Amino acid sequence: MAPSFASDDALELLFPAELICPDVRQQLPADLHIRPLASSDYHRGQLDVLSVLTVVTDPGESAWVAQFNAMRSAPKTYYPIVIVDKASDRIVGVGCVFIERKFLRGLGSVGHIEDIAVDKNQQGKKLGLRIIQALTYISENSGCYKTILNCSDANIPFYQKCGYQKKENEMAKYA
């Protein structure tokens, strides 16, 4: 038997569901739902979707939940969201915006968009666009003066379609 879809009220969410953009909710196909990450999403395939993006090591449920709780205990900082297929109660899209507080720009904040991924079978249906719109809404409603992200050259056209522009360069040093 397929697991039944859990409504927001039945879940322990990382941040309030009211912060999800109402227009984005409306624009999603009726068989999909967008919401904050929930403490039980380890069982809904969040790591499977992330593996579309990069190497994912399964830490086990208790370590996953500890990470969820660590993010939740830093209020107004981490905003991971998911798109769920209602029929299967499985996650088909993920993304996160992290709010960085600064001393410059009048104690301004910057939103960093991270870890965007859409299940291979669901790509090309505007889910990536909806995730970016929802994260940008959270960032702007948090008072961020800009929202930024790093991406490959191949993904530049996608982010341009989402209203983002290429600016400066990314530097990285892996440990």
Site for ligand ACO in 131-160 (CB under 6 A): 149-151, 154-155, 157-158
Binding characters for ligand ACO, 103-132, by CB under 6 A (x = yes): ----------xxxxxx----xxxxxxx---
For the beta carbon of residue 86, count every other beta carbon within 10 angstroms.
Answer: 15
Which residue lies nearer to ligand ACO by CB, 123 or 142? Answer: 123
Determine if 27 is a binding residue for ligand ACO (CB under 6 A).
Answer: no
Residue 127 CB, nearest distance to ligand ACO (Å)? Answer: 4
CA 105 vs CA 32, 62, 125, 171: distances in Å: 39, 40, 37, 23
Residue 61 CB, nearest distance to ligand ACO (Å)? Answer: 24
Give CA 109 to chain center in angstroms. 18
The pairing of strands 146-148 and 109-118 is parallel
Site for ligand ACO in 45-104 (CB under 6 A): 52-53
Residue 172, φ and ψ in degrees, nearest 5:
-145, 145
Contacting positions for ligand ACO (CB under 6 A): 52-53, 113-118, 123-129, 149-151, 154-155, 157-158, 161
